[in-house]
Amino acid sequence: MTQLKEKSKFNFDAADLLIKGSLYAPSVHCSYYGCFQLMKFIIKDFFGKTYNQLNSDIAVSRKNTHKYIIDYIAKEIRDNASLVEFRNFSNTINDLKRFREQSDYEDIEIDFDLSAKALNKAKEIQQQLKNNFHI
């Protein structure tokens, strides 16, 4: 198993443990990064790009890393799956990203409900990625 895929698994596990320990804000962070790392791994494993190639493509695109990775995966789902799956993926990952930004950067309380919702969305994305990219 590659390190990035392993880190993704650790982040999913950490999100669950953090919620159980009432550490809600960091759990949202882990839920999001579990998905982000898995998407980055898929680009390497499924599409054969090295991480150096990927970093170069990101630099040329002038997008930030997160937007590039999300857009890359969303485009592949759009091109190879149903419109419903594409919309579901796009809405879910954008919700999760927004939750992570609120959790990491905004002066608001992150409670059990939001952290549980984030983990559920992360698990939905994980399943979509498994289904679409056979990981």
| Interval 24-49: pLDDT, tens | 999 999 999 999 999 999 999 999 99
Q: What radius of gyration do the chain's Cα atoms show?
A: 15
Tell me the CATH number at 84.
Answer: 1.20.120.330
Can you give the residue range of the structural domain that contains 104? 3-133
Domain count, the chain: 1
Asked whether the predicted pLDDT for residue 135 surpasses 90, the reply is no
Neighbours of 46 (CB within 10 A): 15
- pLDDT, tens digit, 9 for 90 and up, residues 47-69: 999 999 999 999 999 999 999 99
Quote the pTM value: 0.95
- pLDDT, tens digit, 9 for 90 and up, residues 89-128: 999 999 999 999 999 999 999 999 999 999 999 999 999 9
